[in-house]
């Protein structure tokens, strides 16, 4: 049913919304969000955390990969309301001040990026891959990182960076 304003104009009903409380990069946030809002849009548009990239917006490229409760997720396919009481880590939350996360450092040392658009998602997926224990071989890393696409073709260097970080180099 359409709502009618006092001027007699019909308008669409308000979208259902919910309050959501989540911790992002160690900081607690309580927000009211449209129930259809993706975690990606919440991060980028509401909180200004633009390091997480919007690539395909269909879960196929991995540019939006973040960690939710230390598990890799495509933020474009994850509803923000589903993250209630969760801890979300984005690329902005990896470094400790000016001290890069070991995988960020390995990406720089291995020159594991060209255009850089996929880099945040690749790094977040790599952090998940390492914590999940999927770094036994270059083939295993490639398999477990296969949901992250690099149009520049830096896969060899990305795998090397993940391997270095996993080995503590």
Handedness of CA 27, 123, 117, 83 (dihedral sign): negative
Q: What is the pLDDT of residues 12-34, one digit of tens each?
A: 788 899 999 999 999 999 999 99
Cα distance between residue 121 and residue 116, in whole Å: 10
Q: What is the pLDDT of residues 94-113, one digit of tens each?
A: 999 999 999 999 999 999 99
pLDDT of residue 63: 97
- Measured CA to CA, the distance from residue 21 to residue 169 in angstroms comes to 37
Backbone angles phi, psi at 101, to 5 degrees: -65, 150
Identify the pLDDT of residue 164.
98
The answer to whether 37 touches 22, Cβ cutoff 8 Å, is no
Please tell me the predicted confidence (pLDDT) of residue 11: 75
List, for the chain, all residue ranges whose pLDDT scores fall below the cut of 70. 1-10
Query: Alpha carbon 105 to chain centroid distance?
Result: 19
Strand 17-24, strand 87-89: pairing: parallel
To 5 degrees, how large is the angle CA 141–CA 165–CA 22?
A: 85
Are 74 and 89 contacting, i.e. CB atoms less than 8 angstroms apart?
no
pLDDT score recorded for residue 14: 81
Tell me what pLDDT residue 13 has: 80
């Amino acid at each position: 049913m359409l709502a009618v304003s006092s001027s007699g104009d019909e308008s669409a009903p308000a979208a259902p919304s919910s309050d959501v409380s989540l911790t992002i990069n160690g900081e607690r946030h309580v927000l009211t969000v449209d129930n259809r809002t993706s975690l990606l849009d919440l991060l980028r548009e509401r909180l200004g955390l633009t390091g997480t990239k919007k690539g395909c917006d269909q879960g196929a490229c991995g540019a939006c990969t973040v960690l939710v409760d230390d598990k890799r997720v495509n933020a474009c396919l994850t509803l923000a309301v589903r993250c209630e009481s969760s801890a979300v880590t984005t690329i902005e939350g990896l470094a400790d001040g000016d001290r890069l996360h070991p995988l960020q450092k390995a990406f720089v040392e291995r020159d594991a990026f060209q255009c850089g658009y996929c880099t945040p998602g690749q790094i977040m997926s790599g952090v998940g891959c390492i914590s999940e224990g999927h770094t036994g071989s270059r083939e295993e890393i490639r398999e477990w990182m296969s949901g992250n696409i690099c149009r520049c073709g830096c896969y060899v260097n990305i795998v090397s960076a993940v391997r270095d970080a996993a080995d503590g180099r």
